[in-house]
Chain A
Amino acid sequence: MARNQRPSMQTLSARDLIIDIPGRADGYPLDLTIKSGQVWGVLGPNGAGKTTLLHTLAGLRSPRAGALYLDDVTTKALKRRALSQQLGLVFQDRQDGFPATVLETALIGRHPWLAPWQMEGADDLAMAERSLEALDVLHLKDRLVSTLSGGERQRVAIATLMTQSPHTWLLDEPTNHLDLHHQVAVMKLLTDRAAAGNAIFMCLHDLNLAARWCDHILLMYPNGEACWGSAERMLVPNALERLYNQELATVEVDGAPFFVPRRS
């Protein structure tokens, strides 16, 4: 796979970034770096701007202020194709306008790495199949995506990102629709990727998945406030209760905090 070897791993950072949510005042400027080996979880209530942040980081939306850098280069100076070799995104919702099989869907992940006239080769195919295998959907490879269940589609989408193999993985609620076993399998896959040198940055709704698997946390409040840092410093009951406007009980399981909403 020498021809597709990435030139270098580049670190994504946001400098004084204010995301653009139409009709909302400027939020607190974000100043963070997503380094190799880190697993970031973004927590916040509905409408706090988690998806907008992911789209902004991926370069799909312009920020209201501030800038994004890959190492020292502003992402504005990069071509879309070069950017998509470094950054990949799993969307929260997908549209399948035209019928496509699972394998075809995973293979489009190779697009940024192929020249216009180049057909997908045997190594691209092998990469797509390895990714489908890792997400436990290889047995579905000839099925049409439109015939799959929500959780299976979610895993195909993650397999597509894995086939794209960017350095930084952005994921919008990657555990959506997944059963318990596959939630854990996906989180384990993501932390393994981080251990192998990738950077992971994902929105999550499940506090406890974040507590168990993420080493860095970004909390986004509905009023535009934000704070971020290591998971131990961020995942404290007071901050989380204010974040979700919900009282929480905390217990300890396997040495990690476990949060349960109180009935009140």
Chain B
Amino acid sequence: MIRPIALPVAVLSVASLLAMVMSVGIGSVAIAPADVLSVFLGEGSNLHRTLILDLRLPRTLAAFATGGLLAVAGALMQVLLRNPLADPYVLGLSGGAAVGALLAMLAGLGGAVISGSAFAGAMLATVMVFGLAHGTGSWTPSRLLLTGVVVAAGWGAVITLILAISPARELPGMLYWLMGDVSYARAPWHGLGLLVVVCALVVPLGRSLNVLARGPMQAAALGISVRPLEWLIYVLASLLTATAVTMAGSIGFVGLVVPHMLRLVLGNDQRLILPACALAGGTLLVLADTLARVVIAPEQLPVGVITALLGVPTFLYLLYRSR
């Protein structure tokens, strides 16, 4: 809690900018970084302008927002449940969103309806888990976790059922959605806006989260109103996850591993970890999406596969190297 915050945040900011410039430059038509820069300065050829501003930039920003949202949500969930295995989906939120999205696809609806339906499903899952975990008494992290895991299993069964009864032509779209895919994300602004707002809101709460990570009793003895703070974290993390899932389907792994990687390197001060998660999660997903576009071009891979393939070895290496 005494490490300087500015330096890591600056390094990660530069890294995410570089990743984004690279991401908009790479593709079926390669664009040199200098040309990318000139497009942002309002110059450059029409082809480049269309390629970058209309096609690649929205997708890159959507990938960044999704990764950032998931990583911050994961870090918050880990503090809330005081369980290092928690990720944004651990309470079954992605299952609810998936059921919503798949039902919309099954009904032959497209675009905005799928997103809206996914968001509604995510929110339903959130309220359901919290209500059930609350039960007749007060909830504890372990009870919340258990309820979430069981409800998630239920959603999994419903997803399998929908896949089984869906017509074959709908299946590829559904599978891509389930594995996570930013190629349909075209409106990154609300996601980016939410990410910025939540980071601005959460950083002043960072020290309280540090204290909460020591357990609820210690936190209460140090002057924290534990229950309202836990509610706030739960609502924020759910909102972040629901937004991310709505934008790009359920991309696994980012929310679990990015916070852990950063903790291994930067320590466990939430005031640093939360903004660092936003930047590093975003960068990871931008890189993964770039790879997903180019590895078997002109075909594309679901980005969730790439995040796992990139992240698993990196994480295992850091874990192996640490004490």
Which residues from A are CB-within-8-Å of B205? Answer: 116
Decide if B222 touches A109 in the complex (CB within 8 Å): yes
A84 touches B2 (CB 8 A): no
Give the residues in chain A near B82, CB-CB below 8 Å. Answer: 95, 97-98
When the two chains form the complex, which single residue of B204, B217, B222 contacts A111, counting CB atoms closer than 8 Å? B222
Whether A91 lies near B207 (C-beta < 8 A) is no
* Interface contact A98-B263, CB-CB below 8 Å: yes
Q: A100 near B: Cβ within 8 Å?
A: yes
Is B134 close to A, CB under 8 A? no
Chief secondary structure at chain B's binding surface: loop
State the CA gap A105–B210 with chains docked (Å).
Answer: 10
Q: Is B323 an interface residue (CB 8 A)?
A: yes
Are A83 and B214 in contact (CB-based, < 8 A)? no
The verdict on A117 contacting B218 (CB below 8 Å), with A81-B223, A107-B1 known, is no
Bound: A111/B323 CA distance, A = 28
Nearest CB on A from B179, distance (A): 31
Residue-wise interface mask of B (279-323) relative to A, using a CB-CB cutoff of 8 A (1 in contact, 0 not): 000000000000000000000000000000000000000000001
Chain A at the B interface: SS class: mixed
Q: A60-B217, A120-B1 are in contact. Are A80 and B225 (CB under 8 A)?
A: yes
| B224: A residues at CB distance < 8 A | 80-81, 111
> If A116-B207, A116-B208, A117-B204 touch, does A94 touch B215 (CB 8 Å cutoff)?
yes
Bound form: Cα–Cα A224–B137 in Å = 27
Q: How many inter-chain contacts with C-beta < 8 Å in the A-B complex?
A: 86
Given the known A-B contacts A108-B211, A112-B223, are A91 and B1 also in contact in the complex, defined by CB atoms under 8 Å?
A: no
A107 and B218 contact, CB distance less than 8 A: no
Cβ of B5 to closest chain A Cβ, rounded Å: 8
In the bound complex, do residue A164 and residue B215 qualify as a contact, i.e. CB atoms below 8 Å apart?
Answer: no
Nearest B residue to A157 via CB reads: B218
A103 and B268: CB pair below 8 A?
A: no
Residue B213 is within 8 A (CB to CB) of chain A in the complex: yes
Residues on the B chain within 8 Å of A98, using CB: 82, 84, 213, 263, 268
Give how many A residues have a beta carbon under 8 Å from the other chain's beta carbons: 39
Within 8 A of B (CB), among A86-127: 87-89, 91, 94-101, 103-105, 107-109, 111-112, 114, 116-117, 119-120, 125
Whether the pair B215, A95 counts as a contact (CB closer than 8 A) is yes
* A-chain residues with CB within 8 Å of residue B204 when the two chains form the complex: 116-117
Given known pairs A97-B213, A114-B207, A117-B204, the reply for A104 and B222 (CB within 8 Å) is no
**Nearest chain B residue, comparing its CB with the CB of A128:** B2
Is A65 an interface residue when CB atoms closer than 8 A count as contact? no
- With both beta carbons as reference points, the residue of chain A lying nearest to B323 in the complex is identified as A144
Provide the residues of chain B in CB contact with A97, threshold 8 Å.
82-84, 213-215
If A104-B2, A120-B2 touch, does A111 touch B215 (CB 8 Å cutoff)? Answer: no
- In the A-B complex, the 5 residue pairs with the smallest Cβ-Cβ separation, listed nearest first, are A84-B223, A81-B223, A112-B223, A116-B204, A97-B82
* 21 A-B contacts (beta carbon < 8 Å): A55-B217, A80-B225, A81-B224, A83-B223, A84-B222, A85-B223, A88-B221, A91-B217, A97-B82, A97-B83, A97-B84, A98-B82, A98-B84, A100-B268, A103-B2, A108-B211, A111-B208, A111-B211, A114-B207, A144-B323, A164-B222
